[in-house]
Amino acid sequence: MSESESESLYERLGGAYDIAGAVDVLTERLFENDTANQNPVTAEFHETHDPAGFKYLVTAWTIEHAGGPEVYPGREMDEAHEELEVTELEFDVVRTEIKATLYHVGVPEPETRELMGIIDMFRDEVVADNHRDENWSAP
């Protein structure tokens, strides 16, 4: 096994500082995304919450799910998104912003694919049951 194969995704992403930097860029993109903000609950959250707390939670979640230290103090994904009524489209909009941010900050393709695989595993926990469409395919 090569050295890069033995490193966790967390290590290959550059650890906490590089993940936090990417999340900083991502948060700005999400808080300004008109399509994401069409959801009134999301828009209200973006208007009433300081982005710093959101950045902290997303950074900690990513660190933990990428194989770094267990530092995420937030709620489970289904609980955290329960009141948002996220649709398939809204999930894909956020997913697209995540992927675009990874490319923007220079994350290599293998690590991008691996992290996006983790994101995709949470689709069913984030998309509201009444908005789930088994026939949905991302554009």
What pLDDT is recorded for position 94? 95
Q: Are 79 and 125 in contact (CB under 8 A)?
A: no
What pLDDT is recorded for position 6? 84
What pLDDT is recorded for position 128? 87
Separation between Cα atoms, residue 36 and residue 92, nearest integer Å: 10
Which residues of the chain register pLDDT less than 70?
Answer: 1-5, 136-139
Burial 56-91 (b: 16+ CB within 10 A, else e): bbbbbbbbbbbebeeebeeeeeeeebeebbbbbbbb
